Amino acid sequence: MKPAQHLSLLTQGVVVWGAFWVAGLPDYYQQYSPTALGVGCTLLSVAISLAALYVLSRGRPETRLSRAFWISFYYTLPFAVLDALYCGLYLGHGASYLYMYWYLTVFYFSPWLTFIPTALLLRRFSRAPRRDRPASRQASGDVSA
């Protein structure tokens, strides 16, 4: 990837974190029940999985794994750093924010568990022979053409 693409992904990650921060006000999602947070995390995970399929299937097959790596990196590391600064330092929770805000911690790992396997599966399926195409005439024994 070019430096401009790295900067773009970093900027996107920080902007997305900011949007989630604003959406979580006033208590950074602590005002919601664990059940509601679990449902929200599940729905967000489905959306991330669909986004992974869309984003990775649009690119060239030879760059999918690299793109999956960098997307995972820029959508986890900035989140973890910004959450540590906000929850750990500013709110004063220290490292305990990792379990107090478990619904954030989950998303430090889930992009890695979504994008990389999706890229690998797309690569596998793009190499697999298509079963909807008829076999060649020679392979089927029909050489009359």
Range(s) of the domain holding residue 49: 34-127
Q: What are the residue ranges in the chain where pLDDT is below 70? A: 127-145
114 domain residue, yes or no: yes
118 domain residue, yes or no: yes
56 near 115, Cβ under 8 Å?
Answer: yes
| Per-residue pLDDT at 125 | 81
| Per-residue pLDDT at 33 | 96
102 domain residue, yes or no: yes
Structure tokens at 61: 């097959």
Question: For residue 94, how many C-alpha atoms fall within 13 Å in the half-sphere facing its CB?
Answer: 1
* pLDDT tens digits for range 92-126: 999 999 999 999 999 999 999 999 999 999 988 87
89 domain residue, yes or no: yes
53 near 46, Cβ under 8 Å?
Answer: no
79 domain residue, yes or no: yes
| Per-residue pLDDT at 145 | 44
| Per-residue pLDDT at 133 | 52
119 domain residue, yes or no: yes
Closest C-alpha among 64, 31, 72, 37 to residue 80: 72
Number of domains in the chain: 1
Using the structure block, give the residue that is written with the tokens 């920080």: 14
| Per-residue pLDDT at 8 | 95
142 domain residue, yes or no: no
CB atoms within 10 A of CB 101: 21
Entry pTM: 0.81
53 domain residue, yes or no: yes
Q: Which helix (H) or strand (E) holds 106?
A: none
